[in-house]
């Protein structure tokens, strides 16, 4: 057991997606636009950006997300993350009907890896991050991202 693991809020990621393309056990989302915003950091998502979800035999999703962010200092950051979503038929139906679900209703976690050559944002290279869903639905996803101290 890990004792005394602490996190600190780092930023919020807002992304807009279109309907996925379904191929076998994959859902491929094109991320249309997005932004990062937090204490002392802002940035806009650049294209290409996408999420290649693997639907597991139990219906849960394995995330594989990749994109770049143009930071407010003019430098870029590369972001990729894996994650797990405890998806079931109820949540799929709700999302499919355009309803928004919250992170308090569903286990939807990510593990972002962020790297940059920005001096201002060099701290992004130095931490492990975790993301927790705030809301998902209606073509929009919002995560709060925390650095693990």
Comparing 2-6, 7-11, 123-127, 129-133, which segment has the lowest mean pLDDT? 2-6
pLDDT for 8: 97
Residue 131 pairs in a beta bridge with: 110, 145
Instruction: Give the pTM.
Output: 0.90
Q: Give 1-58 pLDDT, tens digit per residue.
A: 678 899 999 999 999 999 899 999 999 999 999 999 999 999 999 999 999 999 999 9
Find how far residue 13's CA is from the centre of its chain: 7
Between CA 143 and CA 60 the distance in angstroms is: 18
What is the four-CA torsion angle of 62, 64, 70, 76, rounded to 10 degrees? 130
How many other CB atoms are found less than 10 A from the CB of residue 63?
A: 20
pLDDT digits (tens, 9 = 90+) for 82-115: 999 999 888 888 988 889 999 999 999 999 999 9
In this prediction, residue 2 carries a pLDDT of 72
* pLDDT given at position 90: 87
């Amino acid at each position: 057991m890990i004792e005394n693991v602490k996190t600190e809020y780092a930023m919020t990621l807002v992304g807009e997606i279109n309907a996925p393309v379904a191929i076998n056990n994959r859902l491929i989302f094109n991320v249309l636009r997005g932004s990062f915003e937090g204490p002392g950091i802002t940035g806009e998502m650049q294209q290409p950006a996408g999420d290649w979800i693997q639907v597991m035999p139990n219906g849960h999703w394995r995330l594989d997300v990749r994109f770049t962010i143009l930071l407010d200092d003019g430098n870029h950051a590369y972001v990729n993350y894996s994650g797990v979503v405890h998806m079931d038929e109820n949540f799929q139906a709700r999302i499919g009907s355009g309803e928004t679900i919250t992170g308090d209703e569903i286990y939807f976690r990510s593990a972002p890896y962020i790297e940059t050559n920005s001096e201002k944002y060099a701290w992004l290279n130095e931490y492990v991050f975790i993301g927790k869903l705030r809301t998902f639905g209606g073509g929009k996803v919002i995560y709060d991202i925390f650095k693990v101290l």
